[in-house]
Amino acid sequence: MLIPTWCGLPTYGWMHDNVMASALPWSYVVGEWQELLAEVRALNLRGVREEWSDVTCCVGLFLHARRLLPAWVPVLPGLGLYAAQKFTARRSTWEKIFRHHGVPFSRRYLTGGGNFAKMRKVKAALGLADFTGPIDAEWLREEGIVTEE
């Protein structure tokens, strides 16, 4: 996927237009904040790093969608870049999931969240695509895509 960048970094505008399913609601940002607080309380430094990135990236995306942050602003290291790269990398796996189930992929189907490791999110995304067949849960687990119910 070609990523227009600013000094080699993805911008919030590009992320919004090419990766995210829709504008993030404030409740999603609050959920990410709660996940960060849980990692801080657990003193899990690796988890804190990941959740900090998720929170800062999601806040930037939230602000951009409401025209409070210009599209050209880059997602910076330490302020969401790790999350932006993670969110972008998930797209190829989603395309693989949809291809395996014979359904055309669109990012708009990911309004329930982009974490394909959770079976409920895979079911929700395929459901939004009007997929009516059985979900190949065995294949999803064998491929290491779904790791949580």
Task: Output the pLDDT for position 6.
Answer: 60
Given a cut of 60, whether residue 3 has pLDDT beyond it is no
| Local confidence band at 113 (pLDDT 50, 70, 90 cut-offs) | confident
Average pLDDT over residues 97-117: 93
| Local confidence band at 5 (pLDDT 50, 70, 90 cut-offs) | low
Residue 30 near residue 97, CB atoms below 8 Å: no
Comparison of pLDDT for 125 and 8, the residue scoring more: 125
Q: Would 77 be classed as within a structural domain?
A: yes
Phi then psi dihedrals of residue 88, to 5 deg? -65, -45
Q: Would 134 be classed as within a structural domain?
A: yes
Average pLDDT over residues 29-46: 97
Taking residue 119's Cβ as centre, other Cβ atoms within 10 Å add up to: 17
Q: Would 2 be classed as within a structural domain?
A: no
**What's the chain's average pLDDT?**
93
Task: Output the pLDDT for position 35.
Answer: 97
Longest dimension (CA), the chain: 45
Q: How many domains does the chain have?
A: 1
What string of H, E and C letters represents the secondary structure of the chain? CCCCEECCEEEHHHHHHHCCCCCCCHHHHHHHHHHHHHHHHCCCHHHHHHHHHHHHHHHHHHHHHCCCCCCCCECCCCCCHHHHHHHHHHHHHHHHHHHHCCCCCCHHHHCCCCCCCEHHHHHHHHHHCCCCCCCCHHHHHHCCCCCEC
Q: Would 147 be classed as within a structural domain?
A: no
Q: Would 1 be classed as within a structural domain?
A: no
Given a cut of 70, whether residue 64 has pLDDT beyond it is yes
The structure's pTM equals: 0.86
Domain residues for 95? Answer: 8-142
Q: Would 26 be classed as within a structural domain?
A: yes
Task: Output the pLDDT for position 4.
Answer: 56
